[in-house]
Amino acid sequence: MANKHLLVNEVKVSIEQKIENNGPSTYRTIGAGQDLVLIHGWGVNSNIWAPVVEQLSEHYCVHLVNLPGFSDEPALETYSLANIAHRLLADLPQKAIWCGWSLGGLIATYIAYHYPERVGKLIQVCTALKFVEEAQWLGVKKEVFSAFKSGVVKQPQKTLNRFLSLLAMGSETVKTDIATIKHLMSDQPEGNASALLGGLVLLDEVDLRQEFSQLSMPSLTILGEHDNLVSVANKPKLIELSSTNQQVIFQKSSHAPFISEPILFHQVLISFIGSQK
């Protein structure tokens, strides 16, 4: 485990040495070439991408986004997809590949639908177009999600720590993955309370299945075979919604394939996006 942590530390230091700050927002860039935007998920920040950033930056100009209310990014008065999109688009390139993980994938999908001229290709990583189950759509059970929201209000630190473990639960390298995730977040500022709750409201209420079916740009959906949060069994429904959407299932991963299988993650993105190297 110590060796794993040492490797992650080396990656973090290497990235920090290459990163450039951009204006008033806290997003960072590393590398050169085609623009690739990475959007993190709920409860964490852009540091979660550290295991794959350096490799991706060898091919692309990687933009590491902190969502409003996470890391040092100011929170929003009203936490909506429209307001989040407005905040992000103000500072990011006019056209880029957008890759979002979990809640970040929901945000990237919203932007791809409403601002298609800004999104060259869309990559969803363990993203649920609708997070909570409904009829034939598999998702987190309503009562389980409601209990989790209550936990964030009553015992935020305990609930967040449990959530970080849940991200890797079921993967073939679960113990190492959990240690890596917690290590990456260990020295990071906690998310703003309103942003945490606002993000949960979005996950509870948003349904982008119809919008996804109307996307015009190429899209890729990455799923984890052992994901307990976003069911891989919805794959046929994704094909029904979009016959042009590509899907790749990471056989050894749960909800964080870029942590569990970083080399494969890098290869899949290169294959989908292409490389100018």
Reported as a single tens digit per residue, the pLDDT across 208-258 is 999 999 999 999 999 999 999 999 999 999 999 999 999 999 999 999 999
CA distances from 10 to 3, 47, 277 (A): 11, 13, 24
Rounded distance, CA 24 to CA 27, Å?
9
Reported as a single tens digit per residue, the pLDDT across 6-64 is 444 444 434 443 444 444 456 899 999 999 999 999 999 999 999 999 999 999 999 99
Instruction: Select from 82, 204, 202, 90 the least CA-distant residue to 140.
Output: 204
Residue 44, CA atoms < 13 Å, CB-side half-sphere: 30
Phi-psi region of 143 (alpha: psi -120 to 50; beta: other; left: phi over 0): alpha
Give 277's pLDDT tier (boundaries 50, 70, 90).
Answer: low
Rounded distance, CA 91 to CA 25, Å?
7
**The two three-digit tokens of residue 236, written as one number:** 């046929």
The one-letter code for the residue type at 69 is G
Chain centre distance of CA 125: 6
Chain centre distance of CA 212: 17
Rounded distance, CA 26 to CA 85, Å?
15
Place of tokens 């307001």: 83
Catalytic residues: 102, 227, 255
Reported as a single tens digit per residue, the pLDDT across 149-196 is 999 999 998 999 999 999 999 999 999 999 999 999 998 888 899 999
Going by the DSSP 8-state scheme, the letter that residue 73 receives in this structure is: P
Average pLDDT taken over every residue of the chain = 90
**The two three-digit tokens of residue 49, written as one number:** 């991408």
Higher-confidence position of 37 and 277? 37
Residues 197/149, Cβ–Cβ less than 8 Å = yes
**The two three-digit tokens of residue 21, written as one number:** 């700050």
Reported as a single tens digit per residue, the pLDDT across 103-118 is 999 999 999 999 999 9
**The two three-digit tokens of residue 19, written as one number:** 């990163």
Domain residue ranges of the chain, discontinuous segments joined by +: 2-273
Instruction: Select from 240, 237, 233, 241 the least CA-distant residue to 215.
Output: 241
Q: Which CATH class for the 2-273 domain?
A: alpha beta
Residues 127-141, mean pLDDT to the nearest whole number: 93
Residues 90-107, mean pLDDT to the nearest whole number: 97
Phi-psi region of 126 (alpha: psi -120 to 50; beta: other; left: phi over 0): left
Rounded distance, CA 215 to CA 238, Å?
12
Terminal alpha carbon distance of the chain: 34
Maximum Cα–Cα distance across the chain: 50
Q: What is the pLDDT of residue 22?
A: 40
Residues 70/84, Cβ–Cβ less than 8 Å = no
